[in-house]
Amino acid sequence: QTDLDELGIAKNAREEKLRARKLQAENERMAALYRQEILKEPKPELATGLQIQGLGKKKDDVVTHKNRT
């Protein structure tokens, strides 16, 4: 059926989810653009204070014990 494609109607649930996700992403993009251009809000910084922890093993601190006497 090509009539559903011409009208822009999803044929199954997968297409509905993909279209909803795409529409949501577009709405968020346009909202950010509106805030930046119309409301003159500063552009949000991406991951400025975010630090990614490495995958390596954590180094243990060396503990020195005092002699008990």
How confident is the model at residue 50, as a pLDDT? 58
pLDDT of 59 reads 64
SS3 string, 14-63, reads HHHHHHHHHHHHHHHHHHHHHHHHCCCCCCCCCCCCCCCCCCCCCCCCCC
Domain around 17:
3-37
**Residue 20 covered by a domain:** yes
The pLDDT of residue 35: 93
The structure's pTM equals 0.54
Q: Which residues of the chain have pLDDT under 70?
A: 1, 46-69
Residue 8 DSSP label: T
Find how far residue 49's CA is from the centre of its chain.
15
Instruction: Give a yes or no: residue 45 inside a domain.
Output: no
- Counting the structural domains of the chain, the total is 1
